Amino acid sequence: MLVDRANYGRLKPVMHEIKNHPQLDLQVVVAGTMVLRRFGEPVCGLKEDGFAVDSELYIELEGSNPISMAKSVGFGIVEFCSDFQKLKPDIVLLIGDRYEALSAAIAAAYMNLCIVHIQGGEVSGSIDESARHAISKFAHFHFPSTQRSATYLMRMGERPETILGIGCPSGDIAKKLDRRVPQNLLDGKGSGADIKLDEPFLLAIYHPTTTSYGTEAVQMNEVLGALEHIKMKTMLLWPNIDAGSDDISKTIRLFRDHHHTSDWLKIIINLSPEDYLKVLANAACAVGNSSSFVRDAGFLGTPVVLIGERQEGREHDANVIPVPIRKEKIATAIRAQLGHGCYPGSTLYGDGQVAPRIAQALASLKPYIQKRLNFVDIKESH
């Protein structure tokens, strides 16, 4: 189940392992921004990578506000139910905390389908944390990314034997990544400044935090103000589709129109998983609130300035400096990270061999339907 570009980047090595496993058959369902033209139709890259797509579902209601998000969850349930009825999977594999994945979890659970959830048990900001924990409670088996996440799942009442292993599959690509970047990688992509990837540059991504809806323009102006103060060549990727993303996109356009950015700012819609990781690996510093700046940047040792509350509470390594949404604080942290340079690669989220273990676990598990709460002594949960 793939619902956005980050989903694909993290599930791609798992999909390869499933496809090549003699005891498993891979069915691919794409939905969310994976199929939308304004996000660069990432599904096209998936097909170019050799994966057959069984279904393309259109579930996103336009608006990028809390109402459209909530209604999209409902549309998702309807569409996923119809698709599961057609495909008849034995196992539904979900990752992360997207509201589209929550739709799939609800549909699968009510259709008596066994659910395996990757990346459960994590702590973060925004509505994502609630969606993530809800998916975990619907799921029958789990593959958390860290030992702390596994512990949290057990404290939430998940049985220890349903936790199949630990580690995030996104690290499998990062650990094996050829970090050399062809100079034509950005040809025909985006608009704005000419960025040479063998020279120092910043990578920026800023997504909306849905629980602070209505403040996105102010937040994005603080981020852009900090980047303008540094005025280093900067690659900025468009935000995701969550409530508030239209305000962030509008703020970026207005800032570009009213400030001289053509010599330092380049804006890009989307990159393939490998190209994105190459860019992240070669960035002098990553700035924003993407979860990839916690996971993937840690694998790669890229310095990170993590802004605001969207990833608040999520585990990170020494390469990450959290800061509030204030341009002075952001700019100061960027300078500090540029002065520090690259960090040692982290194994907090895995060892680079996670996908084969997930595939083997999927081949070995015995699907079941009825979940039972695992009662834990309250004293043990503190």
Q: Answer with the residue of higher pLDDT: 290 or 373.
A: 290
Structural domain span for residue 250:
175-340
- In eight-state DSSP terms, residue 199 is S
Amino acid 3 reads: V
The Cα-based distances of 35 to 22, 31, 62, 113 in angstroms read: 29, 6, 14, 25
Q: What residues form DSSP beta bridges with 141? A: 116
**pLDDT surpasses 70 at 379:** no
Whether residues 213 and 264 share a domain: the answer is yes
- pLDDT tens, position by position, 173-201: 888 889 988 878 888 888 899 999 989 99
Whether residues 33 and 101 share a domain: the answer is yes
- Predicted confidence at residue 76, as pLDDT, reads 97
| Contact yes or no for 15/28 (Cβ under 8 A) | yes
Whether residues 96 and 141 share a domain: the answer is yes
Map residue 306 onto helix, strand or coil: strand
Whether residues 163 and 117 share a domain: the answer is yes
The arithmetic mean of pLDDT across residues 127-132, rounded, is 95
Look-up of token digits 């393939």:
272
Domain count, the chain: 2
Sorted by sequence, the CB contacts under 8 Å of residue 339 that are 6+ apart come out as none
- pLDDT tens, position by position, 240-253: 999 999 999 999 99
- pLDDT tens, position by position, 290-339: 999 999 999 999 999 999 999 999 999 999 999 999 999 999 999 999 99
Residue 273: Cβ within 10 Å count: 24
- pTM of the predicted protein model: 0.93
Domain contains 279:
yes
Domain contains 222:
yes
Whether residues 248 and 272 share a domain: the answer is yes
Q: Are strands 234-237 and 29-30 parallel, antiparallel or unpaired?
A: unpaired
In whole angstroms, give the CA distance from residue 115 to residue 374.
17
Whether residues 216 and 328 share a domain: the answer is yes
Whether residues 301 and 370 share a domain: the answer is no
Whether residues 330 and 209 share a domain: the answer is yes
**pLDDT surpasses 80 at 278:** yes
**pLDDT surpasses 60 at 118:** yes
Whether residues 140 and 269 share a domain: the answer is no
Domain contains 143:
yes
Domain contains 282:
yes
Map residue 264 onto helix, strand or coil: coil
Whether residues 370 and 313 share a domain: the answer is no
Whether residues 288 and 197 share a domain: the answer is yes
| Contact yes or no for 116/147 (Cβ under 8 A) | no
Domain contains 224:
yes
**CATH number, domain at 233?**
3.40.50.2000
**pLDDT surpasses 90 at 280:** yes
In whole angstroms, give the CA distance from residue 3 to residue 168.
17
Domain contains 136:
yes
Whether residues 26 and 50 share a domain: the answer is yes
- pLDDT tens, position by position, 133-146: 999 999 999 999 99
Nearest to 195 by CA among 319, 282, 302, 296: 282
Domain contains 256:
yes
Q: What is the mean pLDDT of the chain?
A: 94
Domain contains 345:
no
